[in-house]
């Protein structure tokens, strides 16, 4: 009995020990938090989540935001381009994080970014007539930007348009 109590106490105490996070995860987390504040202050975007691929280094970063501002494709394109460039500039100018990047410079192919437009009820906006001018979300993944709508007839996101990051970048620069 005493042996069982002792084992229980050892297990209980060992489960309370703080496990140190690897430095590359701490650096990624710090960069993400700084950028979430920037996205809120400069673009009015609310952070909804984050993550990435951080096995032994920073392979990719995932950022999820929401807004209540309705947008068409042109507006969403500009926002995704501006946001992604701002994040890449932040990461690439940070000397502390550089050694943990799988690839320097950190480029858009390693960034997953999603912006969802929410209504006043906090849910993604519904597009009643499947109007392609009223987006529900825009996302960047693997150098492709996807634009989607959501409506009651089709209860899942419907991709209405996609373009490469480079095409979108050129369109934004030409405006």
Put the strands of the sheet holding 144-149 in their side by side order. Answer: 46-53, 60-67, 111-117, 137-141, 144-149, 158-164
Specify the higher pLDDT residue, 41 or 132: 41
**Residue 74: how many CA atoms within 13 Å on its side-chain side?**
5
| Partners of residue 115 on adjacent β-strands | 65, 138
Q: Is the pLDDT of residue 81 over 50?
A: yes
The string of pLDDT tens digits covering residues 58-71 is: 999 999 999 999 99
Q: Is the pLDDT of residue 150 over 60?
A: yes
Compute CA 152 distance to the chain's CA centroid, rounded to the nearest angstrom: 26
What backbone phi and psi angles, to 5 degrees, belong to 144? -120, 135
Confidence of residue 151 (pLDDT cuts 50, 70, 90): confident
Predicted TM-score (pTM) of the model is 0.85
Lowest model confidence (mean pLDDT) among 50-54, 63-67, 165-169: 50-54
Residues 6+ apart with CB under 8 A from 143: 108, 109, 164, 165, 166
Q: Is the pLDDT of residue 101 over 60?
A: yes
> Exposed, middle or buried, 43 (CB in 10 Å: 0-12/13-18/19+)?
middle
Token pair of 39 as six digits: 């996205």
Confidence of residue 9 (pLDDT cuts 50, 70, 90): very low
Q: CA-to-CA distance for 163 and 5, rounded, in angstroms?
A: 62
Q: Is the pLDDT of residue 35 over 80?
A: yes
Q: Report the share of the chain in percent with pLDDT over 70.
A: 86
Core vs surface per residue 53-85: b (16+ CB within 10 A) or e: ebeeebebbebbbbbeeebebeebbebbbebbe
């Amino acid at each position: 009995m005493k042996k069982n109590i002792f084992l229980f106490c050892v297990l209980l105490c060992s489960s309370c020990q703080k496990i140190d996070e690897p430095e590359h995860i701490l650096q990624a987390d710090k960069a993400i938090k700084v950028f979430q504040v920037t996205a809120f202050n400069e673009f009015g975007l609310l952070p909804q989540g984050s993550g990435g691929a951080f096995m032994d280094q920073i392979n990719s970063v995932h950022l999820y935001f929401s807004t209540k501002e309705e947008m068409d494709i042109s507006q969403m394109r500009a926002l995704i381009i501006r946001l992604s460039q701002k994040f890449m500039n932040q990461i690439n100018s940070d000397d502390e994080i550089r050694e943990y990047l799988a690839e320097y410079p950190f480029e858009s192919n390693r960034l997953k970014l999603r912006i969802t437009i929410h209504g006043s009820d906090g849910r993604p906006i519904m597009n009643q007539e499947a109007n392609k001018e009223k987006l529900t979300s825009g996302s960047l993944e693997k150098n492709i930007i996807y634009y989607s709508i959501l409506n009651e007839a089709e209860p899942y996101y419907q991709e209405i348009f996609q373009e490469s990051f480079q095409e979108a970048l050129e369109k934004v620069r030409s405006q």
